[in-house]
Amino acid sequence: MLFHIRINPDSTGMIFFHHDVIEQYSLLPSSSIRLKIGAWEKQAEIAAHSAEDPSLFFLSADIAADVGLPEHLPYELTLDQQEIQIGPVIGILIRGKITELKPNRLNIYLKYVVNYKQLRGLILLFTVDGIDDTQKKVNGFAFNPDSNRWEKGSYVFPSAVFCRRSATPKLRSCFTRLCGNRFFNSQVFNKWEMWERLSGYESMRAHLPDTSLAVHKNELKRFIDQHQIVFLKPKAGMQGSGIFRLEQQGSSYIFQYELNGQSLTSTAYSWEDAYSFLKMELNLEKYLVQQGIPLIKMGQRVIDFRVLVQKNRHGSWCVQGIVSRLGKKNSIVSNISSGGSAEKAWFTLLKIYGQDERTAIKKQNEMEHLAIEACETLEMTGLHLGNVGMDMALDQSGHCWIIEINNRDPDATIALDAGDQELYYRLKSAPLDYAKWLTGFG
């Protein structure tokens, strides 16, 4: 049953329900009960109202002022003998300052609420500078489903938060005080931190290319001698930029890299020359070196797979979809921004396995299970995640490798690149489905 709020200006510390609701939930008029709305909690006295509509409930003016619930929104209630919760109240934390949130930018976030009829309640968009932790409020924007717009105001702090930006330890402590552990994707990890978190687990280690920091000359040389082909990557890089492939052939070292959309090759004829080239081109303190994997290719195009993993409305990990990326011919990266293309992974797997559907589905299931296991393992290291993009690849024997994991803000537009609009909107709406589950209204 959906409820709508009204304000009773002549009372203090009270909540009023229709007598049918009081009877249905075995509530006792004139008794005190814990009332919870977002991060706000307080004892309130239960009373019956005389309005005919059983979907209405009334809050006394003081409570209404504390929480700022818009009256036009539909709310759900959870009721028992100890607590009444009104909601859900869900927040999306984004980058920037509240003064920077102009209509054009606000419209970008409408995609997250395309399934508002299933979410219901108060959906908030806010920035760090809008948080008032002492009053348990946020100055931000609430979604109005009637106008399909975000409306500025002061609202109760949400009981669950989807973080679209990283949070400092201080901010995470603030969230913990306000809403417990019901905030996710607040800690962003780079490629090296991913390696450190996963490589200690034997089940994961078999699917991770050997990785080391590139800052020490002797360690870099040892790593290249061991693997012959390596990739140097920025620890925090995105979209395939700044990646160098290095192959040792006898005493020579062959570099491949992308520059201004062109694939370039350079050769150094000694380790000292090779290292000098790297020092000149790269800030090695910000780089790692990764074992080169002999990946499956199609027509000289490197292939990898973006596995899109999210928690669903039941709080469980699921793979929403897999998109394959094919780099431009002879490129060392698969990124679409570097000239690559995308398609649904199923079509690519069928091509790889000669239209053998049984083998293709088996490999797709293997990638899905590995992706979920990796997410579960990451959470064992102390993270709370709900929205992850995982880059996988297959070597020439068909073994699955985890190349990179992005939990900062996995780009859902890759689904559009693959022509899958349904997947795109599913990726946008799922984080708030999970947030609703966290609030207790799932």
Mean per-residue pLDDT, 91-100: 96
Q: pLDDT category, 12, cuts 50, 70, 90?
A: very high
Q: What percentage of the chain exceeds 70 in pLDDT?
A: 98
Q: Is the pLDDT of residue 27 over 90?
A: no
Mean pLDDT of 156-162: 98
Contact 275/215 with Cβ under 8 angstroms?
Answer: no
Beta strands 229-234 and 244-249, pairing class: antiparallel
What span, in angstroms and rounded, lies between the C-alpha atoms of 394 and 5? 54
pLDDT at 81: 67
pLDDT digits (tens, 9 = 90+) for 99-118: 999 999 999 999 999 999 99
Is residue 388 within 8 A of residue 294, CB to CB? The reply is no
Of residues 335 and 106, the one with the higher pLDDT is 106
Q: In this predicted structure, what is the pLDDT of residue 236?
A: 87
Name the CATH topology of 4-87: Barwin-like endoglucanases (2.40.40)
Of 426, 418, 389, the C-alpha closest to 404 is 389
For domain 200-205+295-439, give the CATH number.
Answer: 3.30.470.20
Q: Residue 37: what pLDDT? A: 98
Question: What is the pLDDT averaged over residues 288-317?
Answer: 94
> How far is C-alpha 253 from the geometric centre of its chain's CA atoms?
39
Can you give the pLDDT at residue 262? 79
pLDDT value at 408 more than 90 = no
Q: Where are the domains of the chain?
A: 4-87, 90-184, 200-205+295-439, 210-291
* pLDDT at residue 166 is higher than 90: yes
pLDDT of 130 above 90: yes
Mean pLDDT of the chain: 94
**Whole-angstrom distance, CA of residue 17 vs CA of residue 8:** 12
| Residue 427: closest CA among 323, 305, 335, 324 | 323
Q: Please tell me the distance from the alpha carbon of residue 125 to that of residue 121, in angstroms, as a whole number.
A: 13
Q: Is the pLDDT of residue 25 over 90?
A: no
Section 49-69 average pLDDT: 95
Whether the predicted pLDDT of 240 surpasses 90: no
Strands 160-163 and 89-93, how do they pair?
parallel
pLDDT of 90 above 70: yes
Q: Between 323 and 262, whose confidence is greater?
A: 323
Residue 338 pLDDT exceeds 70 = no
Poorest-pLDDT segment among 25-29, 54-58, 99-103, 301-305: 25-29
The average pLDDT across 237-254 equals: 86
pLDDT confidence bin for 120, thresholds 50/70/90: very high
What is the pLDDT, as a whole number, of residue 239? 62
Q: Give the pLDDT band of residue 299 (cuts 50, 70, 90).
A: confident
**CATH architecture group of domain 210-291:** 2-Layer Sandwich (3.30)
Residue 294 has pLDDT above 70, yes or no: yes
Binned at pLDDT 50, 70 and 90, residue 238 comes out as low
- Residue 337 confidence (pLDDT) above 70: no
Q: What is the pTM of this model?
A: 0.93
